[in-house]
Amino acid sequence: MPLQPPRVGDESTADLTGIIRARRREIWAKRLTVLGSIAAVLALAAVAWFSPLLALGSVSVDGSRLVAGGKVADFVEAEHGGTPLPQLRMSRIEAEVLERFPRAEAADVRYSGPRSISIAITDRTPVIAIAAGSGFTLYDAEAVDLGTVDKAPQGLTVLESASPNEETIAAVIRFMSSLSPELRSQLSTVEAKGSEGLAGTIVTGETTASVVFGDAENASQKMQTALQLAADGRTEIDVSVPSVPVTG
């Protein structure tokens, strides 16, 4: 009886099946490794989210002359002390600081350690100093009261009118806020006989000139015109109608 030929096809099928099974095991091993890594990361995140080891314990504040850094730190610690840092929203803290301390124009809040944050305060910029008792009250371009100082800061325009009312103060601030810092720096004093009776003293080179501005409209044009005339040596200037200035 003749011998049967070897069944090569069956052996090939067995080898292919083994390869497929090995690849499946390899794929599942990789998937389980990835899933394990994700689970570990989530577990660590959960621990960090609730861990008292990352709870806010200190706040440092710098950069401000108008806002007391200690008060800002106390406020933030009272609101958020003990909260794990991963739960803190920096934008929310910034908004709270600006609402609580209106003299601050901006607050940059950042992580500074595993249990601390730092806050850099940017002060509002005063545009006018108004005599108030024995000192001067500072106001910015939005008419925010920036507090009272004993001496007006150097280079800041001073309103010399006695006891101006709110309407007059608003007109002066509107006039000053319309000027660029360069133009403001050349207006040493402002006087106001009501909201439509603004006047001032400008200094350009060696010339000091008295200027009548009128109301707060077209402030930049009025100031530029007055400076040009003062540069020509005019010391008495009326630019209440800036297109038709009058000099004396």
Model pLDDT, residue 22: 72
pLDDT of residue 43: 55
Provide the CATH number for the domain formed by 53-123 in this structure.
Answer: 3.10.20.310
What lies within 8 Å, CB to CB, of 82 at 6+ separation is: 52, 55, 56
What distance in Å separates the CA atoms of residue 75 and residue 58, rounded to the nearest whole number? Answer: 11
* Residues of the chain falling short of pLDDT 70: 1-16, 18, 32, 35-37, 39-52
Tokens found for residue 16: 């292919």
According to the model, what pLDDT value does residue 113 have? 87
pLDDT value for 100: 96
> Residue ranges per domain, the chain?
53-123, 126-247
Q: How far apart are CA 234 and CA 164, in angstroms?
A: 29
Give the predicted TM-score (pTM) of the model.
Answer: 0.69
> 46-82: per-residue pLDDT in tens?
554 556 678 899 999 999 989 999 999 999 999 999 8
pLDDT number for residue 91 = 95
pLDDT attached to residue 205: 79
Nearest CA-CA partner of 111 in 52, 45, 59, 53: 59
Token pair of 202 as six digits: 């400008």
**Which CATH number is associated with domain 126-247?**
3.40.50.10960
Structure confidence by residue, pLDDT tens digits, 180-200? 999 999 999 999 988 899 999
CA 108 to chain centroid, in Å, comes to: 7
C-alpha count within 13 angstroms, C-beta hemisphere, residue 187: 33
Position 133 scores a pLDDT of 80
pLDDT > 90 fraction of the chain, expressed in percent and rounded: 59
